[in-house]
Structures are given as structure tokens and as C-alpha cells.
């Protein structure tokens, strides 16, 4: 009983000071822009890129990123209320009709699963010797995070919003291949002033090397109790799954989501696209009125 009352008092105090994390209760403004993705799809890198473009006078770091480009589950409510508008907000949620404009970063699920597998080792959610087969099973079932499976999370955005002028879809792989080109798409979508110099500065300030350096120097709370022999900023590449993911495991992912992967331009290696669930019939995306 006492601990219950204490809990209520504590949360009431936090509420009164605006210190609680808003999560899904975040009050959304009509000019908000959301940066969404399934976890481990390059969200943090894109977050740095966009923050560095949006705030060219303040380099994004692991210390200030929750203020510059806040996270619904990590940034206190009062920061959301006092920050300059339009706000750009990070979230891993599945489709939410309240989000006025959305940038969605998708990544090859074969790379995502490897990244999440290693990340969960780092944050001690699983043992370092835990077999990857087991992880793939949980990954396919959507049990490795509270945001649905990769297929569900991507499907809810793609199927509801593809073709809408309020929706920008980026592939992590394209961002890697030509960062300034993709970032320019973002700038256009956000109506941000841009020049080759500004783009270059944002890219430079968010480079993998730069982010690795900052990760070492900065004590960002999220990873405080994690393994220091593994890094948050890892390979920062695409196609790394060839090295870390056994072909049988890749095959399981392709047979579950091959159609969706093919639609996104991820080459299937264990089945032919014709054998994969077929997605080519999506004829009308551009007709979605928003």
C-alpha cells in the first residue's frame, strides 16, 4: 500500500514538473514530423544527419540528441513543449494516423536481425553465446522488441502510406551509398534550406567515424550499463549479414517476408522472387488522399 502511494506521488510529481516521458500520450502538433523505423535500421544515424542539417550551429552528440531530435520514450514532456517548431521526433512505432508527416527508414531485415542480435548482447538482453537461430525465431515472431515484427512494422507504414505526399521512405542502403543525395531528399521534404556545404557538413558531422568517437567520449544514459567491449555504432554498412547470418537463417527470413523485401528492392538469395509472396500488384498508391 505504502509503496503504491509512493509510486503515485512520484509519478504525480514527475507529471507536475513535466519530467515524464510522453510515449504514446505525446500531444502531437499539426506541423510535427516523425522519423520512424523498426529498431536497428539506421534510425540513430539518420537522426544525427537530420539534427545536424536542422541545427547547423550545434553539432549533434549523444548528449544533446534527445533534445535536438527528441524520442517519445526518452525525452521528457517539457522538452517537447518548449522546443522550436516544427519539431522532428523520433519513434519506433508502427503506423499511427496521428503523425502528420513521416520519414520512414527501412533496412534489409537480414542486416537488421544481425544488428539487433549484437545489440541485445551489448545491452545484456541475451548472452554472447546465445545461438542466432533462436534469435531469428524470436525476430520472425516479433518478440525481440515491442514494436511488432520487422514485417509488421514495415508493412503498416508501407501499405498505409506509400505514395502519399506526406510520407518519405528511405532505404538505409541508399543512405549509405549516397548520403548527400538522400539527405537532400529529406531537406526538400522538410523544406529546410540546403546547399552542398550544409549537406556536406551534416554528413561529415554524422559520419561513422565521428559517431564512434563521440560514443567513446560521451556518457549517454541509454547504454550506461551495457557491455563496453561491444559498440553501439557498429559496422555502419550494408550486406554484412553475408558474414554473420548462416544461409539457413537468411532463408527463413526470405520465406517469411520475401515479397515485401523484393518490393523494397532487397535481392533474394535463397528463393526466386517469383516464389516469394508477390507484391507487384500495388497499383494505386498514388491515389491515397491525405
Binding site for other proteins (CB under 8 A): 5, 8, 11-12, 15-16, 23-25, 94-98, 140-142, 146-149, 151-153, 155-156, 158-161, 255-257, 259-260, 263, 277-284, 287-290
Q: Which is nearer to other proteins, 155 or 192 (CB)?
A: 155
Cell numbers given for 201: 557538413
| Rounded Cα–Cα distance for residues 202 and 198 (Å) | 6
Quick check: helix, strand or coil at residue 243?
helix
In the complex, minimum distance from the CB of residue 255 to other proteins, in angstroms, rounded to a whole number: 8
In the complex, minimum distance from the CB of residue 234 to other proteins, in angstroms, rounded to a whole number: 25
In the complex, minimum distance from the CB of residue 249 to other proteins, in angstroms, rounded to a whole number: 14
In the complex, minimum distance from the CB of residue 209 to other proteins, in angstroms, rounded to a whole number: 35
Q: Which is nearer to other proteins, 44 or 144 (CB)?
A: 144
Q: Which is nearer to other proteins, 73 or 194 (CB)?
A: 73
In the complex, minimum distance from the CB of residue 115 to other proteins, in angstroms, rounded to a whole number: 19
Maximum Cα–Cα distance for the chain, whole Å? 62
Smallest Cα–Cα separation from 94: which of 146, 147, 139?
A: 147
User: Residues 72, 164, 105, 21: what is their CA dihedral angle, to the nearest 10 degrees?
Assistant: 0
| Rounded Cα–Cα distance for residues 100 and 32 (Å) | 6
| Rounded Cα–Cα distance for residues 29 and 204 (Å) | 31
Q: Which is nearer to other proteins, 64 or 160 (CB)?
A: 160
Angle at 109 between CA 105 and CA 114, to 5 degrees: 110
Q: Which is nearer to other proteins, 24 or 181 (CB)?
A: 24
Amino acid at each position: 500500500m505504502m509503496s503504491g502511494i509512493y509510486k503515485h506521488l512520484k509519478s504525480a510529481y514527475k507529471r507536475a514538473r513535466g519530467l515524464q516521458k510522453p510515449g504514446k500520450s505525446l500531444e502531437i502538433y499539426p506541423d510535427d514530423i516523425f522519423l520512424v523505423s523498426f529498431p536497428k535500421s539506421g534510425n540513430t544515424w539518420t537522426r544525427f544527419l537530420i539534427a545536424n542539417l536542422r541545427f547547423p550551429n550545434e553539432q549533434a552528440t549523444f548528449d544533446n540528441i534527445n533534445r535536438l531530435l527528441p524520442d517519445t520514450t526518452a525525452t521528457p514532456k517539457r522538452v517537447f513543449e518548449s522546443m522550436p517548431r516544427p519539431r522532428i521526433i523520433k519513434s519506433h512505432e508502427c503506423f499511427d494516423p496521428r503523425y502528420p508527416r513521416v520519414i520512414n527508414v527501412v533496412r534489409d531485415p537480414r542486416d537488421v536481425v544481425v544488428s539487433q542480435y549484437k545489440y541485445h548482447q551489448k545491452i545484456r538482453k541475451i548472452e554472447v553465446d546465445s545461438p542466432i537461430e533462436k534469435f531469428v525465431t524470436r525476430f520472425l515472431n516479433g518478440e525481440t522488441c515491442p514494436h511488432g515484427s520487422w514485417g509488421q512494422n514495415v508493412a503498416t507504414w508501407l501499405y498505409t502510406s506509400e505514395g502519399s505526399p506526406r510520407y518519405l521512405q528511405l532505404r538505409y542502403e541508399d543512405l549509405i551509398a549516397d548520403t548527400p543525395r538522400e539527405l537532400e531528399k529529406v531537406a526538400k521534404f522538410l523544406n529546410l534550406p540546403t546547399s552542398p556545404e550544409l549537406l556536406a557538413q551534416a554528413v561529415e558531422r554524422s559520419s561513422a567515424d565521428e559517431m564512434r568517437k563521440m560514443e567513446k567520449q560521451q556518457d549517454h544514459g541509454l547504454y550506461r550499463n551495457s557491455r563496453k567491449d561491444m559498440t553501439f555504432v557498429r559496422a555502419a554498412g550494408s550486406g554484412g549479414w553475408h558474414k554473420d547470418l548462416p544461409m539457413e537463417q537468411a532463408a527463413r527470413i526470405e520465406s517469411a517476408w520475401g515479397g515485401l523485401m523484393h518490393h523494397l528492392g532487397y535481392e533474394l538469395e535463397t528463393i526466386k522472387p517469383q516464389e516469394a509472396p508477390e507484391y507487384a500488384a500495388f497499383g494505386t498508391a498514388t491515389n491515397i488522399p491525405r
